[in-house]
Amino acid sequence: MVLCFFFVSLQHIMKHLHPLYSDNPRPERFTYPFCYEPHPLCQQAAKEVQTYIGSHGEILEDANRGKMFGVLVVEHEGALAFLAAYSGLLAGRNDWEYFVPPVYDAQQPDGYFKTKEREISQTSAIKHQTSKQMSQELQTWLFHQYQLLNARGETKDLVDIWQAYYDRPKLRQKYPLPPGGTGDCCAPKLLQYAYQQGVRPVCMAEFWWGQPTKEELRQHLNYYPACRGKCKPVLTWMLQGLDVDPDPELQGFQKMELPIVYEDQWLLVVNKPSGMLSTPGRIEDYSVETVMRQRYPDAVIAHRLDMGTSGLLIVAKSMDSYRPLQEQFVKHQVKKKYVAMLQPLPQPLPREGSKGTISLSLRPDPMNRPRQVVDMEHGKRAITDYEFLSDLPLPREGSGEGFLVALYPQTGRTHQLRIHCAHPDGLGCPIVGDELYGTKGERLMLHAAEIWFTHPVTGEKMHLASPVPF
């Protein structure tokens, strides 16, 4: 009986464990899942998964609608292998043999969860309040079934993990329980199965398959970090006991030159390089504002550019000049022209000189910050005028081609230009180098090229320009 049980267990492991033959060296530490470059071993494993997806019709049909997949390279009996997973369900199922099983299977028709769901559905027709309470109780019960391991062999359920992560009273009040679907992403599934089977995690990566959706502006076969909203608390627990790469965002930024385009006794305009923060971040203090304050202690940034965006940025030397500048921004009296290089996609682009306006309301994605999402009902109004500057692809540094477009934002929402370019209801073409909504590159090809404003003291009409660096 013992030998028979061992054979069945080994068969179960091998069903999900796929050999990986490679000359690539193994990484020194495990992947930091929220900011990483995919290791060559993960890239090799991902290609095998992609081949599998492409050759299985039912899986392919569902994946083409847009789905996140993940790979975990592991060491098993001294040899390399990999595990594969998908987020949520795939074609309505969570029992595909090629992929690891869910942490907890709530889809069994005769299981407690599905039985209770049917009972609640019948109750909802009678008493709405009773049904709501029963649904909340069932969801909490489900979270307790997710018994998640870490590399030390310790176990905690999802509720305990969540509440330990958000242990401060204000945070606990804001995030009392995990959102639905927590624990069903690729990374928790992969690590859970590896720990259960006693194989050692080596490195991990996640990629998107299929078309971008209106909710998920992701590009086919691009690699993406694990989501922070659902997975940060969970993976913080599950990675304990592994030697993990440090968070690159905590390593500090390279010091850069900050050219000054215009300066007088009240303000200055700088040409911010790509890769530099406008104001101090949550962890990193080095920014345009801190550099300026070394020269002018009362300096204040009048507006902001994303870290990856280069170009013109106004700096007030005191609050006396800052306040009237801010008033101009609030009243939309400042005009800005950005130039972006768009990633060529299969659909035809408008010809040179084509103009138009994009109006897509935006709001933050609380489960995946700093990403923003289009929400026409609850989002804030965001409007961008555009004009195509080229109708033929232009060569760009490194490799590939791109199309130039001028963007004139009427509003100033976070990631407005990036989403208005990438979204299917916008231009449908991500900006080159946009790792959040397009494809990661050497830099984000977005430049604040011109700005028009009224001088806050002299009343002079100001127009400044900066050459496009790409």
pLDDT, residue 80, reads 97
Residues 190-196 have a mean pLDDT of 98
Q: Which residues contact 181 (CB under 8 A, 6 or more apart)?
A: 88, 230
Residues 32-49 have a mean pLDDT of 97
In this prediction, residue 13 has a pLDDT band, given cuts at 50, 70 and 90, of low
Share of residues in the chain with pLDDT > 70 (%): 91
Pinpoint the alpha helices (H) of 228-317.
228-238, 288-295
Residues 357-361 have a mean pLDDT of 97
In this prediction, residue 128 has a pLDDT band, given cuts at 50, 70 and 90, of low
In this prediction, residue 11 has a pLDDT band, given cuts at 50, 70 and 90, of low
Return the number of other C-beta atoms located less than 10 Å from residue 452's C-beta: 14
Residues 25-29 have a mean pLDDT of 97
Q: Closest by alpha carbon to 194, among 80, 270, 290, 33?
A: 80
Residues taking part in catalysis: 306
pLDDT, residue 186, reads 98
The segment with the largest mean pLDDT, out of 5-14, 148-157, 251-260, is 148-157
Residue 371 has pLDDT above 80, yes or no: yes
pTM: 0.87
Q: Closest by alpha carbon to 20, among 225, 205, 224, 208?
A: 205
Backbone angles phi, psi at 117, to 5 degrees: -60, -45
Cα 333–Cα 330–Cα 364 angle in degrees, nearest 5: 120
Residues 310-331 have a mean pLDDT of 97
| Secondary structure of residue 440 in the 3-state scheme | strand
Residue with tokens 């990856």: 308
pLDDT, residue 125, reads 55
Residue 325 has pLDDT above 90, yes or no: yes
Residues 311-321 have a mean pLDDT of 97
Residue type, 333: Q
pLDDT, residue 368, reads 85
Backbone angles phi, psi at 61, to 5 degrees: -60, -45
pLDDT, residue 22, reads 95
For 198-230, write each residue's pLDDT tens digit: 999 999 999 999 988 888 899 999 999 999 989
CA distances (Å), origin 265, targets 315, 455, 458, 465: 11, 12, 11, 20
Residue 415 is encoded by which pair of tokens?
Answer: 């990631």
Looking at per-residue pLDDT, the higher value among 433 and 346 belongs to 433
For 69-101, write each residue's pLDDT tens digit: 999 999 999 999 999 999 999 999 999 999 999
Mean pLDDT of the chain: 90
The segment with the largest mean pLDDT, out of 170-184, 231-245, 388-402, is 231-245
Looking at per-residue pLDDT, the higher value among 137 and 462 belongs to 462
Residue 424 has pLDDT above 80, yes or no: yes
pLDDT, residue 169, reads 86
Looking at per-residue pLDDT, the higher value among 54 and 11 belongs to 54
CB-based contact 302:380 (threshold 8 Å): no
Positive or negative torsion for Cα 111, 117, 121, 124 = positive
Looking at per-residue pLDDT, the higher value among 385 and 172 belongs to 385
pLDDT, residue 1, reads 45
Residues 164-191 have a mean pLDDT of 91
Task: Specify whether the backbone of 357 is left (phi greater than 0), alpha (psi in -120 to 50) or beta.
Answer: beta
In this prediction, residue 5 has a pLDDT band, given cuts at 50, 70 and 90, of very low
Residue 331 has pLDDT above 60, yes or no: yes
Range scoring the smallest mean pLDDT among 28-42, 150-164, 166-180, 393-407:
393-407
pLDDT, residue 57, reads 95
Q: Closest by alpha carbon to 382, among 417, 356, 354, 406?
A: 417
Residues 113-132 have a mean pLDDT of 73
